[in-house]
Amino acid sequence: MAARSRSISKSPKAPASPNGGARLAVTAPVKAAWQYVAAPEAHDYLKLASHYDLFIGGKWVAPKSGRYFATLNPANEEVLTKVGEASSADIDRAVQAARSAYEKYWRRCSPQDRAKYLFRIARSITERSRELAVLESMNGGKPIRESRDVDVPLAAAHFFYYAGWADKLDWAFRNAAPAPLGVAGQIIPWNFPLLMAAWKIAPALACGNTVVLKPAETTPLTALWLAEIIQQADLPPGVVNIITGGGETGASLVRHPGLDKVAFTGSTEVGKEIARECARLRRPVTLELGGKAANIIFDDAPLDQAVEGIINGIFFNQGHVCCAGSRLLVQESVHEMVIEKLYRRIQTLRVGQPLDKNTDVGAINSKAQLDKIETLAASGEEAGRKRYQTECALPARGYWFRPTFFTHVALSDRIAQEEIFGPVLSVMTFRTPDEAVEKANNTRYGLSAGVWTDKGSKNFKIASQLRAGVVWGNTFNKFDPSSAFGGYKESGFGREGGLFGLLPYVRIPWHSA
C-alpha cells in the first residue's frame, strides 16, 4: 500500500533483454525527467499548545516533577511543543488508575459495551484522520502520503477489527473461558506512533484489560491526540493511560510491581533487557523486535514489479520499519539487470518535505537515528562494498539520508547482519533456491521475508522454508488488522493482528494451572 505505481523515468537506452541475463553496466546518473511543483498539505489549522500533560485516570495531569521535554519536527529541527516527562511517581499514579479502572469499570463492563467503546474510537480516528496524518508527519518525518494512506486508516481499522472481538472471545477461544490479565504496560516505538498505539491498545481493551501506554520519546504527539479521542469517547477514566517520557520512563514502567503484563515493540537489544526483567518478575511479556528481512528475487520474477517491491520494501517510511526488506537476495542471472533497474528507479524517488504530497521519502526520525544510519553505511564503504544512492538535492535543515544501496555485500558484513533501520539496502546474490533459503535464514532475526517468482509452487515452497513470521509473496510491506504479525527467533514472540493477536491479552485458565 505504500508504493503506489509511479511513473518511472526511463532512458531510451534501457534495454528490454528477452533472456534476462544480459550484462548491463549501471550508467551515469539519471536526470529527473521533470520537476514537481510543491504540493504542501496545509497544517495551519493544527494549533499546538505550548506543552502537554500526562493522561492519567481520564484527566490531563502535570508530571509530578514538573519537567517537560521538547518534541521536534525532524524535517526542520524546530520545536513543535513540549510534553511531560513521567517519573516513577507518575507511573505509580497511572498504574493505580489502570488498576482501579480494571476493578471498578472495565472487568464489569459488558463485553458489548467494551465493543461499542472501541467502535467509537475507530470512528473518531477516521473523523479526525487528516489532522492525525498531518501531526504524524510533522512529529515523525514520514511522508504525508504514507501517514494519510497507511498509518491513520490502519489505526482506525485496527480498533474497528478488535472492537468486534470484544464480545466474541468465546468464539476465539472455544471451551476455554478466556479471562483478561489485568493491567498491561505497553511501550511503543517511533516509526508508526499512532498505528503502534492502536496495535497495542485495541486488543488489550477488547480482551478486558486496562493499559498504561508509553509512546516513544521522539514521537509522543499522535498518542496524546489518541488520548483526547479516548477521553471524548467517554471511556471510563483510567482504562487507557498515556504517559510520555524516554527510556528511563519505559524501564520504570516495565519494573512496576502493579502490572500483570508487558508488551513492547522496539529494538532487540532493549527487548532482551525487558525479557530478562520480566523473567525475574515472572511477568507475561510479548515482544515485537528488530528484523533484517530478506527480499528474494528469482530469475523468473516479474522484474519491474519486483523492483517496485524492493523500493517499497526498503524505502517505505525511510526504512524505519522493523520488517523492512533490508537484504536483497537476487538470483545471479538477473543481478545486473535488477541493479540497473533499481538504480534508475531510486533516482525518481522524491526525497524531501514530509508534508509535500509528492514526497516518497521523508525525514529521518531523529539525529540519533541519522547518526546510526551514517555509521552503518560508512561500515559498508569501509568493507569495500559498492555504494549507490539518489542524486537529488536535500533540504538544508532537518535530518536526511539519501536512499542508498550497496552491492557485493558479504553475509558477514555489518550491513548484512545488523538492523540499520534506515533507507539502506544490502544486495547479495544466490544461484540456487537452497542457497537463497540458507542466506535468507542466516540471521538472528526472523520477522519477515519476501519472495518474488512467477511460479506458484516455488513461492509456496520457499515461503514454507523461510524462518520468518510474515512472508510476502510477490508483494511487500502489506498490513491488515485481520492478519497476524510477529517474529521468529530474536525478532520476538507473540503476535499482533488477527485472532492470534488476542492471545497475548487473555488468560486461559488451564494455561496457568
Residues labelled as active-site residues = 288, 322
- Does 482 bind other proteins (CB under 8 A)? Our answer is yes
Single residue of 74, 180, 469, 504 touching other proteins by CB under 8 A: 469
Rounded CA Rg of the chain: 23
User: What is the C-alpha to C-alpha distance for residues 129 and 151, in angstroms, rounded to an integer?
Assistant: 10
- Does 272 bind other proteins (CB under 8 A)? Our answer is yes
The one segment of 110-118, 334-342, 393-401, 483-491 that binds other proteins by CB under 8 A: 483-491
Closest CA relative to residue 447, chosen from 484, 396, 475: 484
- Does 251 bind other proteins (CB under 8 A)? Our answer is no
The one segment of 77-85, 91-99, 218-226, 497-505 that binds other proteins by CB under 8 A: 497-505
For residues 345-369, one letter each, b for 16 or more C-beta atoms within 10 angstroms of the residue's C-beta and e for the rest, the string is bbbbbbbbbbbbebbbbbbbbbeeb
The one segment of 117-125, 126-134, 229-237, 485-493 that binds other proteins by CB under 8 A: 485-493
As a dihedral over the C-alpha atoms of residue 424, residue 300, residue 3, residue 434, rounded to 10 degrees, the angle is: -50
Angle subtended by helix axes 193-206 and 221-232, to nearest 10: 40
Amino acid at 466: L
Cβ-contact 81, 48 below 8 angstroms: yes
Amino acid at 92: D
The one segment of 29-37, 268-276, 385-393, 428-436 that binds other proteins by CB under 8 A: 268-276
User: What is the C-alpha to C-alpha distance for residues 133 and 114, in angstroms, rounded to an integer?
Assistant: 26
Residues in 277-336 that interact with other proteins by CB under 8 A: 279-280, 282, 287, 289
Binding-site string for other proteins from residue 71 to residue 110, where x marks contact by CB under 8 A and - marks none: ----------------------------------------
Show the cell assigned to 73. 519536527
The one segment of 26-34, 311-319, 422-430, 476-484 that binds other proteins by CB under 8 A: 476-484
Question: Exposed, middle or buried, 403 (CB in 10 Å: 0-12/13-18/19+)?
Answer: buried
> Nearer to other proteins by C-beta: 36 or 460?
460
Number of residues that bind other proteins (CB under 8 A): 45
> Nearer to other proteins by C-beta: 90 or 308?
308
Binding-site string for other proteins from residue 349 to residue 378, where x marks contact by CB under 8 A and - marks none: ------------------------------
Angle subtended by helix axes 221-232 and 111-127, to nearest 10: 130
Chain centroid to CA 331: how far? 28
> At its nearest, how many Å lie between other proteins and the CB of residue 463?
5
Show the cell assigned to 140. 515523525
- Does 444 bind other proteins (CB under 8 A)? Our answer is yes
User: 10 Å Cβ neighbour count for 248?
Assistant: 13
Single residue of 68, 162, 190, 485 touching other proteins by CB under 8 A: 485
Residue at grid coordinates 527487548: 271
What region does 467 belong to: left with phi over 0, alpha with psi -120 to 50, or beta?
Answer: beta
> At its nearest, how many Å lie between other proteins and the CB of residue 123?
17
Cβ-contact 329, 428 below 8 angstroms: yes
Cβ-contact 218, 70 below 8 angstroms: no
- Does 483 bind other proteins (CB under 8 A)? Our answer is yes
Strand 327-331 versus strand 294-297 pairing type: parallel
> Nearer to other proteins by C-beta: 21 or 302?
302
Residue at grid coordinates 494451572: 513
- End-to-end Cα, the chain, rounded Å: 44
Binding-site string for other proteins from residue 132 to residue 171, where x marks contact by CB under 8 A and - marks none: -------------------------x--------------
> Nearer to other proteins by C-beta: 78 or 434?
434
User: What is the C-alpha to C-alpha distance for residues 136 and 355, in angstroms, rounded to an integer?
Assistant: 10
Single residue of 108, 168, 276, 431 touching other proteins by CB under 8 A: 276
The one segment of 135-143, 360-368, 396-404, 456-464 that binds other proteins by CB under 8 A: 456-464
> At its nearest, how many Å lie between other proteins and the CB of residue 350?
24
- Does 500 bind other proteins (CB under 8 A)? Our answer is yes
As a dihedral over the C-alpha atoms of residue 493, residue 100, residue 205, residue 93, rounded to 10 degrees, the angle is: -60
User: What is the C-alpha to C-alpha distance for residues 128 and 135, in angstroms, rounded to an integer?
Assistant: 11
- Does 471 bind other proteins (CB under 8 A)? Our answer is yes
> Nearer to other proteins by C-beta: 69 or 488?
488
- Does 495 bind other proteins (CB under 8 A)? Our answer is yes
Cβ-contact 183, 56 below 8 angstroms: no
Largest pairwise CA distance in the chain: 71
> Nearer to other proteins by C-beta: 62 or 499?
499
The one segment of 52-60, 270-278, 390-398, 399-407 that binds other proteins by CB under 8 A: 270-278
> Nearer to other proteins by C-beta: 108 or 478?
478
Interface with other proteins (CB under 8 A): 1, 157, 268, 271-272, 275-276, 279-280, 282, 287, 289, 444, 459, 463-464, 467-475, 478, 480, 482-486, 488-490, 492-493, 495, 498-500, 508, 510-511, 513
